[in-house]
Amino acid sequence: MAVQTPIPPNPIGENFAWRDWLQKLSNRVFGSISTQDSNAISITGGTINGTSIGATTASTGRFTALSLTAPVTKTTNFTVAATEVWLINNKSGSTCTVTLPTPASYSGRILFFQNYQVQTVVSATSNVVAVAGGAAGTSILLASSGDQCTLVSDGTSWLMTQYMSNNNLLLE
């Protein structure tokens, strides 16, 4: 009867059979993406919500691009521009009034607000629904420096999906 020699270990001590098995499992679960350089991933096929990805011709779909701009600091009443996402109120002395984009034209759009001043931030029209729900109003941020909120258009109104007060007490 022939004596089988063990699989020789590689320089870090694992045997090749174990490493090869893990690589095959990883490739089966994650595909070739599991072995690609994280700075140069190539997706060569598949679908997202029925839209082909990685094809040689471009496909339409909301997942294809995400472009965010740097935060913009405002010192007067303002209208949100088409490219603005992160908005910081630094208007002193009185309430900052913001003209939000028409919700119907920007369904799914997200806006982030932060307050650097102890002044309220309000919408020019009653189109903001508070975190707790209810009828649309104008309040975006309370008069508290450091408060933040996220607004998302549902096609009818701007829904406040989160509000973070600068005066939170976090308990663990």
- What integer pLDDT is reported at residue 69 of this predicted model? 81
Give me the architecture of the 72-164 domain, per CATH: Sandwich (2.60)
* Global confidence as pTM: 0.62
Residue 170 pLDDT exceeds 80: no
- What integer pLDDT is reported at residue 67 of this predicted model? 60
Report the percentage of the chain scoring pLDDT > 70. 58
Between residues 63 and 49, which one has the greater pLDDT? 49
pLDDT tens profile 67-118: 678 999 999 999 999 989 999 999 999 999 999 999 999 999 999 999 999 9
What's the rounded Cα separation, in Å, for the pair 158 and 155? 8
